[in-house]
Amino acid sequence: MFKQYFKQAIQMLKENRLTSVVSILGTALSIAMILVVILQLQIRLVGFRPESNRDRMLYIMGIRADSQDNKNRNSTAMSDGVVKECLYPLQTPEAVTAITSSKAIISLPDRQLFEEYVIKYTDPGFWKVFDFRFTAGKPFTDADFSSGLPRVVITNTLARKLFGSEDPIGKEVMIGYVPHTVTGVVEDPTRAANNAFADVWAPYTSNTNYVNGRSCGGVCGSFQGVILARSASDFEAIRSEIKQAVSRYNAAGREFVLGINFVFSRLDLALGSNDMNGGILRGWKEYLTETAPLLLFLLLVPTLNLTGVVQSSVQKRRSEMGLRKAFGATKGRLLTQVLCENLIITLIGGLIGIVLSVVLLQLCKSFLLTKETAVTFEMLFKPVLFVAALFFTLLLNLLSAGLPAIRIAREQIVDALKGKEK
Amino acid sequence: MIKHILKIIWNQRRSNVWIFMELLLVVAILWVMMDSLYVDIRTYRTPLGFDITNVYKVNFGKMSPDIPGYVPDELHQSSDGEDLIRLVDNLRQNPQVEEASLFYAACPYSWNTSWNSLIQAEADTAQKANVFQYFRVQPAYYDVFRFTDQEGHPLRPIVEQHTGEIVVTADMERDFWNGQPGLGRQVRWSGTSTGSMTVAAVSASIRRTEYDKSVPCFYNVWRSDKDVIDVAGWAQAQNIECCIRMKDGFRAEEMETLLQQMSDRLTVNNLYVSSVKPLQEMRASFLKPRTDNLTKKCFLVGFMLVNVFFGIVGTFWLRTQYRRGELGLRAALGASRSKLKQFMNVEGLSLLFFTVPLVLIFIANVLYFDLPDTYRQPYTWWRFLATFGSALLLLAGMIWVGIWFPARRIAKMDPAESLHYE
């Protein structure tokens, strides 16, 4: 039966070339635009190198530091003291890291340069939480970190630019007049991996600005924490362990009280949660209230188009439908037939839509993400994309062909056979 | 003819209703988009008040005592502020540099801003002290950014001819003195402050960015080096901002070589030039969120137009097929081909026309609740006509193009063959 519908649908596609092309293109365009919206979320959500294990990551984006008398309240990030007492001692996670991001001028000992690069000051745990691919050398070690030695890991693009080779291990770069030894070179991370991204990574102990922070009683600083759990089921255990660590930290009776109110999962961040100005936890509800109207609009306009076309083509075949009905086809049968035939169009459109969405994202990268963000195969082709494509294609099919199908199926045989307009 | 077409449209209502609903939705949303684009573009195109082409931001750094090359205090008498002035003189002396200026919290396209209250000194009644954005600048600042007064004369000579430490913008003059000239008047920081300051000049209105409306703001002019040194004392010399204007014809790529050439002159004691960035680049990243938004809106407009095109092509194409008999009969009875084409065009445009009353109700509601942006641009009849008119015209154009395809087919039709279907 379905084979018959399929044949018929293909035949109809051929018969009305222009209408078919228009319907398929319309569907493809709409599905592509919807998928671009989905892809933006997907890139924030799914894992890819060097943040492959995003599904197991937890994030401390900020902290609260309120004075005991509650007159002075701060919404900021962790100091190195907080990191040492609340982040590093955690037992449940597989690895933890503290990161702070800054800009620095990278020069050579014999040549002053003036270009600014992104530098992340961090710790050896960083290389366990994130899976960078080293093309030469290795990360700075625990020993480098604890003695605060000026060591750096740089990207291969920067290595080529500064040294003309990708193997400058042991050579020196100048960061603000201080010589740092290159210990490793990594493949360029994409900017979409915003927690790991930088051009240069150095142990934060090598920069005096980041050690022994005294701001608001030693609580406020500039570090954010990323925690790699052994599995997502450990999240609650880790959150409660952090809570214990915080109350232990506050038991010392400092001038300021530390509060870690939010430990976000990747999903929370992807949906727009943040910890600035007091912090906000955003879930699906908030995300959808913002995005659903756009998706609905992107879906509705082509739906009305398609309905018009389906309506016209069904109208043309009223006598055929009447005949089938006269010979005993049930309402359900005719309904399925119209829906199935239309599904061919929407599915073809959906497939083209997937390809188009990837092309669109690439073309419109400069204003959807940033111009410099490298979009990789691994961040695009995830099950989410295909499931979303299928879902919206089916929805589009149902919305556009549903009404004409019901109408034709319910028509009186006599009217249909006569081809009379009601 | 119109009456006849109305009858046809009514008879075709089953397939027309979908395209009608699509047009209704699209006209309404297109108007919303057009209105917001109108505000953005009108605002964008009004003069900014300053000019940043060929202007570069110079960032400073200060060596810390643990760095090799640090000059200990015993070895130099000058303060950091004096070093800074010498450093900027070095820059200014370069033949490629047209002008250089130091300022604080006054760099365009930056988040670093200062706000303070300012009141008229003459008025003795208790005034409400408003807070305004203000800029601390050297007179050279007006040359670097080519500020003018309201008549378009360069501002710097005017400032230098008159005494006084305050320059107000035209908006501020209007705000304070209701159209009376502000030059030479007295102002005070607040009701409690002793001593008053003189207004040395009135500049043209300035806007913070291309997307913002001009608001009252004022300048505190640093007349002498002592003013700079004072600020360097509390704000730290390396935090004072600096911009240089390069001579016409200078290209951004030449900056690196220029800096290399003067590298020994870019350090004065412990203060050094750390990086130089074109202001155009800062502008692009500062405006990115809003420019991206604008591009996205344009994309959505494009999406709607393409869909209307598809919808019209699809609906009318099938209709010509379905009504071949009727059209053949018309042709046989003497209707010329252009007449047939005209028939279809009028039919399509009537559909669009019918949406107008409903859309007007929608617009009236939107305006009643003051949803459009009336802060940046006032709502005028002209604005209504421009936005609503352009929305309708764009759609009419799309309909006309969409009908062109099916109409061409009719033109090719042989009346005898068409009658065959009747």
Judgement on whether residues A310 and A253 belong to the same structural domain of the protein: no
| Same domain as A326, residue A288 | yes
Based on the domain organization, do B204 and B261 belong to the same domain? Answer: yes
β-pair type (A178-186, A151-155): parallel
CB B301 within 8 A of CB B395: no
Give alpha helix (H) positions in B333-380.
337-368
**Using the 8-state DSSP alphabet, how is residue A227 labeled?**
E
pLDDT band for position A417 (50/70/90)? low
Three-state SS for A295? helix
The whole-model pTM stands at 0.82
Question: Is A278 contained in some domain?
Answer: no
Residue A181: the pLDDT is 92
Q: Which residue of A lies nearest to B300 if distances are taken between CA atoms?
A: A298
Torsion angles phi and psi, residue B62, rounded to 5: -130, 130
By the 8 A CB rule, do B8 and B349 touch? no
**Interface check B47 vs A, CB under 8 A:** no
CA dist B192 → B117, B126, B184, B189 (Å): 11, 11, 21, 8
**According to the model, what pLDDT value does residue A264 have?**
92
Question: Mean pLDDT throughout A181-185?
Answer: 93
Whether A123 is covered by a domain: the verdict is yes
Is residue A419 over pLDDT 60? no
| Secondary structure class of B320 (helix, strand, coil) | helix
Structural domain that includes position B350:
2-46+288-421
Domain presence at residue B65? no
Residues B83 and B130 in one domain: yes
Residues B218 and B301 in one domain: no
Residues B237, B108 within the same domain: yes
Is the pLDDT at A422 greater than 60, yes or no? no
Residues A88 and A206 in one domain: yes
| CB-CB neighbors (< 8 A) of A315 in chain B | 14-15, 322
**CA closest to B264 among chain A residues:** A112
> Taking Cα atoms as reference points, which of A262, A235, A232 lies closest to residue A246?
A262
3-state SS assignment for residue B103: strand
**Which SS3 state, helix, strand or coil, does residue A148 take?**
coil
Residue A308 is nearest to which of B64, B275, B314, comparing CB atoms?
Answer: B314
**In this structure, is residue B279 part of a structural domain?**
no
Residue bearing the bigger pLDDT, A50 or A2:
A50
| Chain A environment of B11 (Cβ under 8 Å) | 421
The sign of the dihedral angle between the CA atoms of A331, A332, A335, A340 is: negative
Structure tokens at B214: 């001009």
SS3 state of residue B273: strand
Query: Are residues A104 and A40 both part of a single domain?
Result: no
**Which residues, 6 or more positions from B51, have their beta carbon under 8 angstroms from its beta carbon?**
B145, B146
How confident is the model at residue B145, as a pLDDT?
93
Judgement on whether residues B355 and B408 belong to the same structural domain of the protein: yes
> What is the domain extent for residue A249?
62-261
B149 touches chain A (CB under 8 A): no
A187 and A300 within one domain: no
The residue of chain B nearest to residue A117, with distances taken between CA atoms, is: B275
* Partner-chain contact B291 A312, CB within 8 Å: no
**The domain boundary residue, chosen from B219, B238, B269:** B269
Residue of A nearest to B273 (CA): A114
Q: Are residues A73 and A141 in the same domain?
A: yes
Last residue of a domain, one of A229, A261, A293: A261
- Residues with Cβ < 8 Å from A10, sequence gap 6 or more? A344
Distance of alpha carbon B107 from alpha carbon A37, whole angstroms = 35
Domain count, chain B: 2
Contact A301/B263, CB-based, under 8 Å? no
Return d(Cα B152, Cα B94) in angstroms, integer.
Answer: 29
Q: Are A33 and A309 in contact (CB under 8 A)?
A: no
Q: How does DSSP assign B197-240, residue by residue?
A: EEEEEEEPP--SSTTS----EEEEE--SHHHHHHHHHHH-GGGS
Of the candidates B137, B158, B138, which has an alpha carbon nearest to the alpha carbon of residue B204? B158
Listed residue (B387, B388, B390) closest to B398, CA to CA: B390
Both B371 and B416 in a single domain? yes
Rounded to whole angstroms, the Cα distance separating B50 from B137 reads 14
Task: Check residue A90 and report its DSSP letter.
Answer: -
Flag whether residue B385 sits within 8 Å of chain A, measured between CB atoms.
Answer: no
Q: Is residue B107 in a domain?
A: yes
Give the SS3 label for residue A268. Answer: helix
Distance between CA atoms of B184 and A237, rounded to whole angstroms?
69
**Min CA distance, A244 vs chain B (Å)?**
38
Residue A267 lies inside a defined structural domain of this protein: no
Note the pLDDT of residue B203: 92
* Cβ of residue B26 closer than 8 Å to a chain A Cβ: yes
Option in A308, A315, A367 nearest B311 (CB): A308
* A261, A292, A314 - which closes a domain: A261
Based on the domain organization, do A342 and A407 belong to the same domain? yes
Cα gap B359→B355, rounded to integer Å: 6
Which of A235, A262, A228 has the alpha carbon at shortest distance from A93? A228
The answer to whether residue A50 scores a pLDDT higher than 50 is: yes
Share of chain A above pLDDT 90, in %: 28
pLDDT in tens, A386-401: 888 888 888 888 888 8
Are A367 and B25 in contact (CB < 8 Å)?
no
Q: Has residue B195 been placed in a domain?
A: yes
Q: Which of A112, A113, A301 sits opposite B26 (nearest CB)?
A: A301
Q: Is residue B194 part of a domain?
A: yes
Number of separate domains in chain A: 2
Say yes or no: B340 and B293 in one domain.
yes
Q: What is the mean pLDDT of residues A95-124?
A: 89
Work out the burial of residue A297: count CB atoms within 10 Å of its CB; fewer than 13 is exposed, 13-18 middle, 19 or more buried: middle
Q: Are residues A91 and A216 in the same domain?
A: yes
First CA to last CA distance, chain B: 22
Cα–Cα distance measured from residue A286 to residue A255, given in angstroms and rounded to the nearest whole number: 37
Does any domain span residue B376? Answer: yes
**Of B204, B238, B269, at which residue does a domain stop?**
B269
In a domain, B57, yes or no: no
Q: Residue for token digits 């509390």?
A: B234
Answer whether residue A416 shows pLDDT above 80: no
d(CA A12, CA A322): 18
Q: Are residues A302 and A212 in the same domain?
A: no
A17 occurs within a structural domain: yes
Same domain? For B226 and B139 the reply is yes
A298 and A397, same domain (yes or no): yes
Same domain? For B125 and B220 the reply is: yes
Cα A30 to Cα B170: distance, rounded to the nearest angstrom: 49
Buried b (16+ CB within 10 A) or exposed e, A315-352: bbbbeebbebbeeeeeeeebbbbbbbbbbbbbbbbbbb
Same domain, B23 and B126: no
Mutate to test the interface with B, among A113, A177, A363 (most CBs of B within 10 A): A177
Give the phi and the psi of residue B105 in degrees, each rounded to 5. 50, 40
DSSP H or E run through A405: helix A383-410
Portion 297-316 of B in contact with A at CB < 8 A: 299, 303-304, 306-307, 310-311, 313-315
Query: Is A289 within 8 Å of chain B by CB?
Result: no
Residues of chain B with pLDDT under 70: 1, 14-15, 123-127, 322, 415, 417-422
Residues B102-121: b if buried by 16+ CB within 10 A, e if exposed = bbbbbbbbeeeeeeebbbbb
Does A271 map to a domain? no
Which residues on adjacent β-strands are paired with residue A57? Answer: A228
Do both B85 and B212 map to the same domain? yes
Q: Please indicate, yes or no, whether residues A28 and A81 belong to a single structural domain of this protein.
A: no
Last residue of a domain, one of B237, B269, B301: B269
User: Which of the given ranges, A246-250, A299-303, A413-417, has the highest pLDDT on average?
Assistant: A246-250
Residue A180 is predicted with a pLDDT of 92
**DSSP letter at B263?**
G
Question: Which of A106, A297, A305, A373 to mutate: most B Cβ within 10 Å?
Answer: A305
**Two tokens at A138?**
């290795």
Judge whether B414 lies within some domain.
yes
Residues A88-92, mean pLDDT to the nearest whole number = 91
pLDDT of residue A210: 86
B258 and B141 both lie in a single domain: yes
Query: What is the value of ipTM here, to two decimals?
Result: 0.79
**Do residues B419 and B329 lie in contact, with contact meaning Cβ atoms separated by under 8 Å?**
yes
Same domain, A321 and A298: yes
Instruction: Check CB contact under 8 Å for B11 and A421.
Output: yes
Q: Give the side-chain half-sphere CA count within 13 A for A206.
A: 26
